[in-house]
Amino acid sequence: MITGTTKLLGVIGHPIAHSLSPVLHNAAIAHLGLDYVYLPLPVSPDQLQQAIAGFEAIDLQGFSVTIPHKQAIVPLLQEISPAAKAIGAVNTVARTDSGWFGTNTDAIGFLAPLRELDRSKQRAVILGNGGAARAVVAGCQELGCTEIQVVGRDRAKLEAFRTSWPNDLPLTVHTWSDLPTLLPSADLLVNTTPIGMHPDIDRSPLEALDRLSATAIVYDLIYTPRPTKLLQQAQARGLEAIDGLEMLVQQGAAALELWLKQPVPVAVMRQALEAALAKH
Ligand code: NAP
């Protein structure tokens, strides 16, 4: 029940109507019986600064950040975590005594389903070089990958991507034509492109996965549909296949933990998200 004492959380984005974050967070808040509510907050790019000032005025406790604000918000915050600095984007903002603190929980989310897997999975091939690819590279760095190979279609963007990371990171960039030589030694293949996402469910970023080794893991960040065409191809070959749902759940759980300063019911959040996706 929302009362006069209810504390406010939310998500800013433009558009925001299709965000699953309110479902994810309000399920956990209800389960914990806390006096909080998590709201969708539509903020257009030209209103970002005013919105942040307003959040301070109404004592918003924290908020998630989604497209198109993940980078634009950085200069408006008082403190940025090392994770957000490395990724170059903020997806979570918390209120602290010294102002707004921005961090990025996407790499935590990405890593969650990989934690239980064999740590010798060390050669990663990442398809795409956009925002999500940055969180995946940060995750692979934390995983201790010995090779991180990022594949993109635009040479200038690939070069900019490479130079935005420390020189000593074992990161190389490639165009799609290099894939036949990259795949045979890949332990982990991650799709961070939107190829195969609803409604284009019959598309896959790769025609075939026969060049991958039998022990490779195929990870698709997409969570609609489940499984994607790429993951169906992986399953048909008997490969380990991971979809993007757990990443979404776990990046949200990490954010909620930061705001509430207590453990959160991850299973409740997962269940709420699965139920919401089933209605789509
Ligand atoms: P983004 O910043 O727009 O990056 C998309 C990347 O894919 C870019 O490098 C883009 O290349 C490439 N790409 C797009 N269409 C392509 C095509 N037809 N052929 C080859 N490359 C193509 O988007 P994002 O924020 O990284 O998100 C990417 C995907 O990850 C989305 O499907 C999103 O739903 C998913 N995601 C999932 C989670 C999760 O929690 N599970 C979190 C974040 C994102 P150019 O740069 O050359 O255009």
Contact 150, 186 (CB under 8 A): no
Q: Measured from the CA of 154, which atom of ligand 1 is nearest?
A: 47
Spatial CB neighbours of 92, under 8 Å, sequence gap ≥ 6? 62, 63, 64, 65, 102, 103, 104, 105, 254, 255, 258
279 is catalytic: no
What are the sequence ranges of the domains in the chain?
Answer: 7-104+246-279, 107-243
Is residue 129 in contact with ligand 1, taking CB distance under 6 Å? yes
Contact 10, 60 (CB under 8 A): yes
Q: Is-same-fold flag (7-104+246-279; 107-243)?
A: yes
Catalytic member of 70, 85, 229, 279 = 70
- CA distances to 21, 44, 48, 63, 114 from 12, in Å: 10, 9, 9, 7, 29
The stretch 102-123 carries a mean pLDDT of 87
- So what's the architecture of 7-104+246-279 in CATH? 3-Layer(aba) Sandwich (3.40)
**The CATH number of domain 107-243, selected from 3.40.50.880, 3.30.1380.20, 3.30.300.100, 3.40.50.720:** 3.40.50.720
Q: Write the pLDDT tens digit of every residue in 58-78.
A: 999 999 999 999 999 999 999
The stretch 156-176 carries a mean pLDDT of 97
Of the two residues 117 and 44, the one the predictor is more confident about is: 44
pLDDT of residue 118: 64
Is residue 130 in contact with ligand 1, taking CB distance under 6 Å? yes
| Average model confidence (pLDDT) across the chain | 96
- 116 pLDDT exceeds 80? no
- Give the pLDDT band of residue 233 (cuts 50, 70, 90): very high
pLDDT of residue 115: 81
Q: Write the pLDDT tens digit of every residue in 241-264.
A: 999 999 999 999 999 999 999 999
The stretch 73-94 carries a mean pLDDT of 97
Is residue 132 in contact with ligand 1, taking CB distance under 6 Å? yes
3-state secondary structure of 10: strand
pLDDT of residue 202: 98
